[in-house]
Amino acid sequence: MTRFSAPIAEQIWDMKYRLKDAAGSVLDGTVEDTWRRIARALAEPEAEPALWEDRFYAALEGFKYLPAGRIIAGAGTGRAVTLFNCFVMGTIPDDMAGIFQMLKEAALTMQQGGGIGYDFSTIRPRGAEVKGVAADASGPLSFMDVWDAMCRTIMSAGSRRGAMMATMRCDHPDIENFIDAKKDPARLRMFNLSVLVTDPFMAAVKADGPWDLQFGGKVYKTLQARDLWMRIMRSTYDVAEPGVIFIDRINAMNNLNYCETIAATNPCGEQPLPPYGACLLGSINMATLVADPFGPGAALDMDKLDDLVRLAIRMMDNVVDASRFPLPEQAAEAQAKRRIGLGVTGLADALLMVGLRYGSAEAAAQTEAWMKAIARASYLASVGLAQEKGPFPLFDAEAYLASGSLTQMDADVRDAIRQHGIRNALLTSIAPTGTISLYAGNVSSGIEPVFAYAYTRKVLQKDGSRTEEEVVDYAVRLWREKFGDTPLPDYFVNAQTLPPLDHVRMQAAAQKWVDSSISKTINCPADISFEDFADVYMAAWDQGCKGCTTYRPNDVTGSVLTVSETADSAPVPAATPMPDEGGEVVYLSEPLDRPAALEGATYKVKWPGSEHALYITINDIIIAGHRRPFEVFINSKNMEHFAWTVALTRMISAVFRRGGDISFVVEELKAVFDPRGGAWMEGRYIPSILAAIGGVIERHLVAIGFIAGEGLGLKSDPKAEVVAVGAKGKSCSSCGSYDLRMVEGCMTCASCGFSKCG
């Protein structure tokens, strides 16, 4: 017997969360072992660890409470990792030394796997005077390019894929360039971008009034606010960025507005955080709490919900004490406020089980009621922890209760906080749950609608063929078990067929009782008019949302891929790709057999000072119409190179034939330094001839679409003369496939579960 309801769920657990030693030997024999490991680790701070370990295990059992992936993978392992998901770094000083100190701190945080956010509004605009050096400032975007390169370098060193958020105020003089930055498909690929939109700006937009762009008290330019707003809309319509963050609303509603100011968020936007702020995440799996699904008595069990929330809050509070932090400033900030972010997943599935159409007024009202119940239980649980263990150190009862978020809380909860204090300054957040929702049996992600009722996942076999495996939505599977092949009711809707304003309605309903923010993508059809698209953002503002993120398929971020199979009579949904992420599983237990003929490309590299050139041939295999590298040949007339080129040829080819993510080959080769010295090629220093070979392989992988772009290690590749090139396509950097979708602001792979957000 297995606890997993689908093969993909077990594979996600094995690849991402199952504890293994350095040699790859399994330490978590079953998922029950994983739950026990987490429960034991999070019970350690308790006075009675054995008692709480069993209770925590019960919450984890059956995927009812889902800690964030970093906690599932890291808790109880003894490894020096952070269990926190997201960080906003310190305020960037407007001087060179301070800027690069912030860059160092970002690198240290990302090295431990933390996603980071930065506000670049504090850097003087391009062309501003730099006193004392007789020069003009290069502006914040030039430094963002440096951050982008740092993130790629950290990835090249073997750390997990980086994720960064860059924000800029709507009144910064460089805001127009910031808005347009991602129109260049090769620029700032490691960043998500969002504009910090203020209340006065929105008032000026509504009134079609003037708007000053200023820095340090100096007005650099005046333009019409509505023109700037429509410029944001046009860029987002064309290239899906920047997002919009209503920053004044966030600060007004912040429980801690009396002791902190927020100017940035984590990469997916669900956690607005102060300088050095950190937050950990977890989700209640709403789909597991519905009694009599699809039956006459279908309803969410509110008592079970209340009990589960209280246990989850206690577990998350203990993570604050159990976790390591990349920087001491982050540890101090977390301890001072004990901020946590409990959210939900499986909401759309739960609504389906009780017979409600996602996006309808009835579903929005039910969502608001459920989220209020979670908020009440969370706050009362934290009050109980304050009685037992003390409130968070910066707690000030009257100031705390006067914050915008607390003014709408029920009187009995406010009275309890006033009398006893509260353990955690903020408690609720809705984070991306793409990977953990697959791990939990393919429940709907976060508060998103069901993306696909069913799709076909192709699994690569050793002979190059693929077997097909159906991946079914959790609620659809329950429907099938109960009603067989009966067609799905008409209240089953999906992300692609749902009108955009219904997305906004659901986000606004959930936001009312979420004290942080929400990671949600409003999927828009490719043919939506620009005017209707812009109305989505204004609706988000008018309905009280704290931000807005949309996705419309476009030439820069990709076209729509059709989900390959439907369930029953459900409409055919679509998956939305992005250059960086997504894909099908191509990890193999045995190497592929070589076909009789392969297509490829040959490259010539002339290493300075060497009499003979290297010729590098890379051949590709075509699988399901897409190319991936299969073998490499490295040839030279210089016999001194013979042994190592043959060895390199065989080893790299063997790696390629095993499938999976082979981009590390590029990263490893480009990191090799020759102690005798490298060489300058096309104005760049290449540290070794092996690094030059790595650069050639990288260029080839970009040409065939296996990776999104150059610069994963060094900023440019060595000189390479292409003799023949192959077709282009896009694939998952984790597993090499092409089944991509945008969910909760993150590109997510439907087959292997990989996402930019982890």
Per-domain residue ranges of the chain: 86-252, 599-722
Out of 99-108, 327-336, 492-501, 744-753, pick the least confident.
Answer: 744-753
Work out the average pLDDT over 66-94: 91
268 is catalytic: yes
Residue by residue, what is the 3-state secondary structure of 493-542?
Answer: CCCCCCCHHHHHHHHHHHHCCCCCCECCCEECCCCCCHHHHHHHHHHHHH
Out of 68-82, 304-318, 400-414, 603-617, pick the least confident.
Answer: 603-617
pLDDT at 584 > cutoff 60: no
The answer to whether 124 touches 215, Cβ cutoff 8 Å, is yes
Q: Which residue has the higher pLDDT, 275 or 684?
A: 275
270 is catalytic: yes
- Number of other residues whose CB lies within 10 A of the CB of residue 77: 15
Most confidently modeled of 177-191, 195-209, 609-623? 195-209
pLDDT tier, 225 (very low <50, low <70, confident <90, very high otherwise):
very high
Catalytic residue (one of 192, 251, 254, 266): 266
pLDDT at 292 > cutoff 60: yes
Catalytic residue (one of 170, 268, 746, 752): 268
Out of 419-423, 481-485, 697-701, pick the least confident.
Answer: 697-701
Separation of alpha carbons 232 and 15, rounded Å: 39
The answer to whether 447 touches 344, Cβ cutoff 8 Å, is yes
Separation of alpha carbons 84 and 67, rounded Å: 11
Each residue of 82-127: pLDDT tens digit? 898 789 999 999 999 999 999 999 988 887 777 899 999 999 999 9
Most confidently modeled of 391-395, 402-406, 451-455? 391-395
Q: What is the pLDDT of residue 526?
A: 87
Separation of alpha carbons 675 and 287, rounded Å: 58
Pairing between β-strand 86-88 and β-strand 115-119 as defined by DSSP bridges: parallel
pLDDT tier, 723 (very low <50, low <70, confident <90, very high otherwise):
very low
Cis, bond preceding 275 (omega within 30 deg of 0):
no
Q: Which residue has the higher pLDDT, 238 or 563?
A: 238
Separation of alpha carbons 583 and 579, rounded Å: 11
Most confidently modeled of 375-389, 424-438, 566-580? 375-389
266 is catalytic: yes
Say which amino acid occupies 485. Answer: D
Separation of alpha carbons 84 and 113, rounded Å: 9
Work out the average pLDDT over 537-556: 89
Q: Write the DSSP symbol of residue 659.
A: B
Instruction: Provide CB contacts within 8 A for 143, sequence distance 6+.
Output: 92, 99, 120, 123
Q: What's the burial of 743, exposed, middle or buried (CB within 10 Å: 0-12/13-18/19+)? A: buried
Out of 547-561, 633-647, 701-715, pick the least confident.
Answer: 701-715
Question: 3-class DSSP state for residue 383?
Answer: helix
Tokens of 546: 């704290």
pLDDT tier, 243 (very low <50, low <70, confident <90, very high otherwise):
very high
Catalytic residue (one of 53, 241, 260, 270): 270
pLDDT tier, 380 (very low <50, low <70, confident <90, very high otherwise):
very high
- Rounded to two decimals, the pTM is 0.77
Taking alpha carbons only, the member of 699, 705, 559, 558 closest to residue 628 is 705
Instruction: Provide CB contacts within 8 A for 229, sequence distance 6+.
Output: 201, 205
